[in-house]
Chains A and B, each alone.
Chain A
Amino acid sequence: MTMVQEIDYGTPARTGRIVRLTIDGRTVEAPEGTSIMRAAMAGGTQIPKLCATDSVAAFGSCRLCLVEIDGRPGTPASCTTPVAEGMAVRTQTERLKTLRRGVMELYISDHPLDCLTCAANGDCELQDMAGAVGLREVRYGYAGENHLGEAKDLSNPYFAYDPAKCIVCSRCVRACEEVQGTFALTIAGRGFESRVSPGMGEAFMDSECVSCGACVQACPTATLIEKSVVEIGQPEHSVVTTCAYCGVGCAYKAEMRGDELVRMVPYKDGKANHGHSCVKGRFAWGYATHRERILKPMIRARITDPWQEVSWETAIAHAAAELRRIQATHGKGAVGGITSSRCTNEETFLVQKLVRAALGNNNVDTCARVCHSPTGYGLKTAFGTSAGTQDFDSVEQADVVIVIGANPTDGHPVFASRLKKRLREGAQLIVIDPRRIDLVRTPHVEAAYHLPLRPGTNVAVLDALAHVVVTEGLVDEAFVRERCDWDDFQEWAAFVAEARNSPEAVERVSGVPADLIRGAARLYATGGNGAIYYGLGVTEHSQGTTTVMAIANLAMATGNLGRPGVGVNPLRGQNNVQGACDMGSFPHELSGYRHVGDDATRSMFESLWGVAIDREPGLRIPNMLDAAVDGTFKGIYIQGEDILQSDPNTHHVAAGLAAMECVVVQDLFLNETASYAHVFLPGSTFLEKDGTFTNAERRIQRVRKVMEPRSGMADWEITVALAEALGFAMPYSHPSEVMDEIARLTPSFAGVSFQRIDALGSIQWPCNEKAPEGTPVMHGAGFVRGRGKFMLTEYVPTDERTGPRFPLLLTTGRILTQYNVGAQTRRTANVAWHEEDVLEIHPHDAEQRGVQDGDWVRLASRTGETCLRARVTDRVAPGVVYTTFHHPTTQANVVTTEYTDWATDCPEYKVTAVQVSPSNGPNEWQRTYDAFAHESRRVVRPAAAE
């Protein structure tokens, strides 16, 4: 294997009319606006450079890339000089050679000459350029004034900053601005004193730096360098794979030395991320080798017993025997499974196949149940497809963006950077969120409208936006007449036009001033391409599905569908939420969103699998837990999920799990759910597996193995072994064969194979005869269902109400540095940013309760209570509090209720009536739970062989 090399063209690509010029006598062609540097590189000539890199705009400071142009005076910088028709460029002349050597002499006279012991040795552009220009001496010597004694900043856990090696090329500063959009870095000082500086001269960790790694990526020297490279050395081979964190689906090069991961470097050809990264994907992979990884299968008779390490054969046989025993005793439907949105499509497909074919029922569900199941139902109803309509590139053509119920800078940071870039270019932003999320006002970005609605009133506000569109004549009637059901539209238009849906009426329930709603609606309807991006703040409500429908209505009414720059875009939480849904993880659907009751669909699967499939829908996760408490559901196989921590009403989840006779957990760590497990099957990280993930834009990308499964079995092999122990053969030799089966059974995947993905880089489904290379933007020629369907979206207040005992509304979410239940990110240095969950509370509410910033508080609801520290902030409105659910010591879901979305049973995490009061620390339940979890993780290892 070799390193995957990517060409740095020096400046960004341009599109436009092609011009012809000569470079060193050779004719080259390039789009107008392209730099000479880029045109030369594309033609095979590498002009020396230091301050230029193709992820940021040309800067023209290093003066190393000088060229001569016939008929023009001087030696212009090739990075800032655009090509022109007929131009004749010379890149290598005696004058240029002399100039470049002179520039390099100056650089090197103030640079430590420690190349042999420098961590960037072999990967240093300064070193390369010294060689390229033929530097043989430094006439100035090294004794002059210099920066060699300046102190390193090692505050960031992942990268080091050594100002002694800085050449002040500003690549890091520009990357922070142009790529990431945080503007955390600057060049402090003037002249000789100039140095890269985070914030106002503080350490990186004390600055507003979000540790995305863009600066490290851009740095041409060892000034900003990964600590892992410092510790391990330069990698020697690399493999392109897909990040296993959020639904953006960033492509990375896993750079290796042997089987040790040295660093993850964002891949420029990644269609979702285009070479950018965030703190999680770029740096937070240390959990893969964390000492708490469980690498041996374990079983135990009771959850109060210590774990016993056993062989794979014993563990698999025990799990199968128990599941069969339960079925024999309590019926076929007494067992089920949960697939994982963190696992690959192939692994997910196999788990649902095991449940349907080996266990013989449809009791399979996935964690999308508790996040985006309303998206599937809502968008399928409106458009005919359970997925977002656009690719991420589409945002580059958006003119007005609505972000509702999402916090992209924390949850989907790489997409957020692309969004911010478009906003800096002039697109307008409307934020609909109870909190003042960072996007509302961040450097060089300010939302035109922030609608800080009361939690639970999404539908009312969306209906009010639609009211303005309809009553002010802003409907795109031509689009609606051509593309949508006109009768449905008319009924919907009459409904939203009713006075009770006016902004003035909705102000009373939502708290959003009517003039803001009117202004936002006018902007979205008339501002050009309108795109809506949404997250779990939309779906995790009792009216989650209705909200998705209301979003679809708004997009259809304004004609904002079917072309780049517009659309309805669910931002998926986990890496493979879309894929897990696509793969038939829901209890009522086979892959491709086809109901199990459909005889034709079922017969396809039955023919291939050789078994009968139940035509009745199975239990959803909340139903499984209810049935367990009732005593009719007794066994479960859970792959890669931690429902005890992630699902609502922790006490109820615990009661359900405790009532089961066999809980099989397949995971990396002894997570919270494993405390209630009887069989533990050690899983693999994304670094240890082959397969595919499907991101939020329906993009299927390869996950490529860079190291062997540390437990000895890949996740897909474990499922196959369990199925076979249950008596159902799954004879695959590689995950690619699973994808081949998916393609045979799923029309929207008909053209997908590992070979095809490898050839194209990635594929956005549908991919079939009609779209052999996939479908970046859906519904271009018409909706999948035929005519777009307007649904009537009556606002129904949630039954979770505030009152004297619980006067505040709690809403929950995630933070940039942590991911979901934190099982991965808590086992990395990311805890440096978020070592505990805290409760955000408005200063007014805090003062009323005698709570100060940092105080312990008791957070109580009708469901339960927990204690955590308070953060007093006006990011939340008065009456609203907010927390994250990343830490099991807090267990935020002790507080959340069992109210769910009417259509899909998705929990209403975003609205819980609570009270907050001062506290002295963790409560009795937290202490008891902590002790229980600790006790539950005891492991008895077999005595060493004699």
Chain B
Amino acid sequence: MSPEKLVHMANQIAAFFAGQHGDAAAATADHLAKFWEPRMRRDILAHEAAGGAGLSAVARDAVRRLHVAAA
């Protein structure tokens, strides 16, 4: 899927959890794991691995914590 759209969505999620107390990256990663279908997670992981342009610091940290089940 479009990296720009996924980045925008991940940053939105990260922005919300950054406003909460606690580990924002962990909460963001948990949200991505619970609500993003595996191919979306694979695509954002690939984007992060390719430099992660546009990802906020919290979103980037969250993506790195993702573990996607093998296809």
Give the contacting residue for A791; candidates B20, B35, B38, B39; CB below 8 A. B20
Chain B contacts with A in 28-50, Cβ cutoff 8 A: 31, 33-40
Tell me if A542 is interfacial: C-beta within 8 Å of chain B: yes
Distance, CA A632 to CA B40, complexed state (A): 11
Give the contacting residue for B34; candidates A597, A627, A898, A902; CB below 8 A. A597
0 or 1 for each of A762-801: is its CB under 8 Å from B? (1 = yes): 0000000000000000000000000000011110100100
* A550 CB to nearest chain B CB (Å): 12
The residues of A that contact B69 with a CB separation of less than 8 Å are 616
Q: Are A902 and B37 in contact (CB under 8 A)?
A: no
Known: A627-B1, A792-B19. A902 touches B13 (CB 8 A): yes
CB contacts between A and B, total, < 8 Å: 64
Tell me if A623 is interfacial: C-beta within 8 Å of chain B: yes
Known: A491-B21, A626-B2. A902 touches B16 (CB 8 A): yes
The residues of A that contact B66 with a CB separation of less than 8 Å are none
* A757 CB to nearest chain B CB (Å): 33
Q: Are A617 and B19 in contact (CB under 8 A)?
A: no
Tell me if A588 is interfacial: C-beta within 8 Å of chain B: yes
0 or 1 for each of A346-378: is its CB under 8 Å from B? (1 = yes): 000000000000000011000000000000000
The residues of B that contact A632 with a CB separation of less than 8 Å are 39
Q: Are B12 and A618 in contact (CB under 8 A)?
A: no
Q: Are A617 and B16 in contact (CB under 8 A)?
A: no
The residues of A that contact B15 with a CB separation of less than 8 Å are 794, 796, 902
Distance, CA A761 to CA B22, complexed state (A): 47
Q: Are B36 and A542 in contact (CB under 8 A)?
A: no
Tell me if A900 is interfacial: C-beta within 8 Å of chain B: yes
With CB as the reference atom, state the residue of chain A lying closest to B16. Answer: A902
Distance, CA A173 to CA B38, complexed state (A): 60
Give the contacting residue for A617; candidates B5, B13, B34; CB below 8 A. B34
Chain A: interface size category: 20 to 34
Q: Are B35 and A617 in contact (CB under 8 A)?
A: yes
Distance, CA A902 to CA B56, complexed state (A): 14
Q: Are A542 and B12 in contact (CB under 8 A)?
A: yes
Tell me if B57 is interfacial: C-beta within 8 Å of chain A: no
Tell me if A4 is interfacial: C-beta within 8 Å of chain B: no
Known: A630-B1, A791-B20, A903-B16. A623 touches B8 (CB 8 A): no
Distance, CA A905 to CA B36, complexed state (A): 10
Tell me if B53 is interfacial: C-beta within 8 Å of chain A: no
The residues of B that contact A491 with a CB separation of less than 8 Å are 21
The residues of B that contact A792 with a CB separation of less than 8 Å are 19-21
Give the contacting residue for B1; candidates A363, A545, A626; CB below 8 A. A626
Distance, CA A632 to CA B36, complexed state (A): 15
The residues of B that contact A904 with a CB separation of less than 8 Å are 35
0 or 1 for each of A621-654: is its CB under 8 Å from B? (1 = yes): 0010011001010000000000000000000000
Q: Are B39 and A618 in contact (CB under 8 A)?
A: no
* B63 CB to nearest chain A CB (Å): 15
Tell me if A333 is interfacial: C-beta within 8 Å of chain B: yes
Known: A588-B35, A903-B13. A626 touches B20 (CB 8 A): no
The residues of A that contact B35 with a CB separation of less than 8 Å are 588, 617, 620, 903-904
Chain A contacts with B in 401-415, Cβ cutoff 8 A: none
* B67 CB to nearest chain A CB (Å): 12
Distance, CA A627 to CA B5, complexed state (A): 12
Tell me if A912 is interfacial: C-beta within 8 Å of chain B: no
With CB as the reference atom, state the residue of chain A lying closest to B8. Answer: A799
Tell me if A587 is interfacial: C-beta within 8 Å of chain B: yes
Distance, CA A514 to CA B56, complexed state (A): 33
Q: Are B13 and A587 in contact (CB under 8 A)?
A: no
Q: Are B37 and A623 in contact (CB under 8 A)?
A: yes
With CB as the reference atom, state the residue of chain A lying closest to B15. Answer: A796
Q: Are B40 and A546 in contact (CB under 8 A)?
A: no
Tell me if A619 is interfacial: C-beta within 8 Å of chain B: yes
Distance, CA A627 to CA B43, complexed state (A): 11
* A283 CB to nearest chain B CB (Å): 41
Q: Are B37 and A618 in contact (CB under 8 A)?
A: yes
With CB as the reference atom, state the residue of chain A lying closest to B20. Answer: A792
Q: Are A902 and B12 in contact (CB under 8 A)?
A: yes
* B41 CB to nearest chain A CB (Å): 9
Distance, CA A617 to CA B5, complexed state (A): 19
Distance, CA A741 to CA B1, complexed state (A): 37
0 or 1 for each of A593-635: is its CB under 8 Å from B? (1 = yes): 0010100000000000000000011111001001100101000
* B15 CB to nearest chain A CB (Å): 6
The residues of A that contact B8 with a CB separation of less than 8 Å are 799
Distance, CA A706 to CA B54, complexed state (A): 57
With CB as the reference atom, state the residue of chain B lying closest to A619. Answer: B37
The residues of A that contact B31 with a CB separation of less than 8 Å are 903
Give the contacting residue for A595; candidates B12, B34, B36; CB below 8 A. B34
Q: Are A363 and B12 in contact (CB under 8 A)?
A: no
The residues of B that contact A902 with a CB separation of less than 8 Å are 9, 12-13, 15-16
Distance, CA A228 to CA B39, complexed state (A): 54
The residues of B that contact A542 with a CB separation of less than 8 Å are 12
* A323 CB to nearest chain B CB (Å): 18
With CB as the reference atom, state the residue of chain B lying closest to A898. Answer: B5
Distance, CA A362 to CA B35, complexed state (A): 11
Distance, CA A626 to CA B37, complexed state (A): 12
With CB as the reference atom, state the residue of chain B lying closest to A905. Answer: B9
The residues of B that contact A546 with a CB separation of less than 8 Å are 16
With CB as the reference atom, state the residue of chain B lying closest to A798. Answer: B12
Chain A contacts with B in 885-935, Cβ cutoff 8 A: 898, 900, 902-905
The residues of B that contact A630 with a CB separation of less than 8 Å are 1-2
With CB as the reference atom, state the residue of chain B lying closest to A545. Answer: B16
* A797 CB to nearest chain B CB (Å): 11
Distance, CA A620 to CA B40, complexed state (A): 11
Distance, CA A889 to CA B33, complexed state (A): 40
* B34 CB to nearest chain A CB (Å): 6
The residues of B that contact A623 with a CB separation of less than 8 Å are 1, 37, 40
Q: Are A616 and B5 in contact (CB under 8 A)?
A: no
Q: Are A333 and B12 in contact (CB under 8 A)?
A: no
Distance, CA A898 to CA B39, complexed state (A): 19
Distance, CA A363 to CA B40, complexed state (A): 13
Distance, CA A632 to CA B5, complexed state (A): 16
With CB as the reference atom, state the residue of chain A lying closest to B12. Answer: A902
Distance, CA A172 to CA B7, complexed state (A): 59
With CB as the reference atom, state the residue of chain B lying closest to A632. Answer: B39
Distance, CA A387 to CA B39, complexed state (A): 30
The residues of B that contact A597 with a CB separation of less than 8 Å are 33-34
Distance, CA A254 to CA B37, complexed state (A): 44
Distance, CA A903 to CA B28, complexed state (A): 10
With CB as the reference atom, state the residue of chain A lying closest to B39. Answer: A632
The residues of B that contact A627 with a CB separation of less than 8 Å are 1, 39
The residues of A that contact B33 with a CB separation of less than 8 Å are 597
With CB as the reference atom, state the residue of chain B lying closest to A543. Answer: B16
With CB as the reference atom, state the residue of chain B lying closest to A595. Answer: B34
With CB as the reference atom, state the residue of chain B lying closest to A586. Answer: B35
Distance, CA A542 to CA B8, complexed state (A): 11
Distance, CA A498 to CA B3, complexed state (A): 36
With CB as the reference atom, state the residue of chain B lying closest to A542. Answer: B12
* B43 CB to nearest chain A CB (Å): 9
* A53 CB to nearest chain B CB (Å): 52
* B12 CB to nearest chain A CB (Å): 4
Q: Are B34 and A588 in contact (CB under 8 A)?
A: yes
* A143 CB to nearest chain B CB (Å): 79
Add 13 more A-B contacts to A793-B19, A796-B12 (CB < 8 A): A587-B37, A588-B34, A597-B34, A616-B69, A617-B34, A617-B36, A618-B37, A627-B1, A627-B39, A630-B2, A792-B19, A796-B15, A903-B13
**13 contacting pairs across A/B (C-beta < 8 A):** A333-B38, A333-B39, A587-B37, A616-B37, A618-B37, A627-B39, A796-B12, A898-B5, A902-B13, A902-B16, A903-B13, A903-B31, A905-B9
Q: Considering the complex of A and B, which 10 residue pairs feature the smallest CB-CB distances, nearest first?
A: A902-B12, A794-B19, A626-B1, A619-B37, A616-B38, A792-B19, A902-B16, A902-B13, A792-B20, A618-B37
User: Which B residues are closer than 8 A to A by beta carbons?
Assistant: 1-2, 5, 8-9, 12-13, 15-16, 19-21, 31, 33-40, 69
User: Which A residues are closer than 8 A to B by beta carbons?
Assistant: 333, 362-363, 491, 542, 545-546, 587-588, 595, 597, 616-620, 623, 626-627, 630, 632, 791-794, 796, 799, 898, 900, 902-905
